[in-house]
Amino acid sequence: MTMDGTITNFKLGNRYDGRKVILKIQNIKSYREAAQLIGRKVIWVHPKKNTFIKGKIIRVHGKRGRVLAFFRKALPGFAVGSRVQIL
């Protein structure tokens, strides 16, 4: 079962590397629902090149159902606001 999500922002901090992003997933509204998604694969598809970057959901971010995903390569800045697929 695949789900759709949106990249809302990068996780920022002193050791920022661009590989951790915060995702908002459709129809996920609570911490408990988001916690069940930990470990699932995430795929971001480049809009023009048709290449993709794989990632994984590593933890819940906050109480409103956002999750933190870790990607293998750093995502470009224009990826904020774009869609991802959760497998």
- Span of 7-16, 26-35, 71-80 with lowest mean pLDDT: 7-16
Domain boundaries, the chain: 3-86
Please tell me the pTM assigned to this model: 0.90
CB count, 10 Å around CB of 85?
14
Query: 3.10.20.310, 1.10.3720.10, 1.10.3660.10, 2.40.10.190: which CATH number matches 3-86?
Result: 2.40.10.190
Percent of the chain scored above 90 by pLDDT?
87
- Long-range contact set of residues 16-21: C-beta below 8 Å, sequence gap at least 24: 17/74, 18/74, 18/75, 19/55, 19/70, 19/71, 19/72, 19/73, 19/74, 19/75, 20/58, 20/68, 20/69, 20/70, 20/71, 21/55, 21/68, 21/69, 21/71, 21/75, 21/79
- What value does the mean pLDDT take over residues 29-49? 96
Q: Quickly tell me which residue has 């697929």 as its tokens.
A: 85
Q: What is the pLDDT of residue 70?
A: 97
